[in-house]
Amino acid sequence: MSNTIINKVSESGLITLDLATLLPKDAVVGFDLKDYLFMELILKEKDYRTALQEKDWSAYENKIVSIYCSTDAIIPVWAYMLASVYLTPISSAVYFGNINSTKEQILLNNINNLSTEEYADKRMVIKGCGDEEIPESAYVAITHKLLPVAKSIMYGEPCSTVPIYKKKSLKI
């Protein structure tokens, strides 16, 4: 009788894909237009332009920036565009939306650009738990991306998965 412990999970051929690895690598910071509103309600063009010209933009250098307004004010579209003019030359990227929606946009873009060659006819496990919060939209997007190529798709951890999809063989 052998006392060898066999790791059946590692021998199963399952490939685990952790969506957290597709989150943005650079820091994501916010640029809130609320700070440029008169009484947090009204954007005065002249004051806004002056404030942007005088602002120290170094805090946004080489960072991903989310432009948004955290108050319930009506912001003209050009105000977001003008902020983007100042942020684009120094940041690594500029997005519209809050920090969470920016992270989600980047994650979905990374999923969309993911090469699926290495996952062709493989048994995939999409990791379900982790330290990073992954939006539901990412799970839908990765399922859509892998469905044409994967042999099977499961959700969870290799030791405890929920089956999502299994490719059926054609009988002729």
Which tens digits make up the pLDDT trace of 40-56?
Answer: 888 899 999 999 999 99
pTM of the model as a whole? 0.82
Please indicate, yes or no, if residue 150 is contained in any of the structural domains: yes
Q: Identify the domain containing residue 134 by its residue range.
A: 14-24+107-166
What is the count of structural domains for the chain?
2
Q: Is the domain of 112 the same as that of 144? A: yes
| Regions of the chain with pLDDT less than 50 | 5-11
Helix, strand or coil, per DSSP, at residue 11:
coil
- What are the phi and psi torsion angles at 90 (to 5°)? -110, -25
Q: Is the domain of 144 the same as that of 116? A: yes
pLDDT value at position 8? Answer: 45
pLDDT value at position 132? Answer: 86
Please indicate, yes or no, if residue 49 is contained in any of the structural domains: yes
Q: What is the pLDDT of residues 114-133, one digit of tens each?
A: 999 999 999 999 998 878 88
Contact between 40 and 71 (Cβ < 8 Å): yes
Please indicate, yes or no, if residue 145 is contained in any of the structural domains: yes
pLDDT value at position 54? Answer: 97
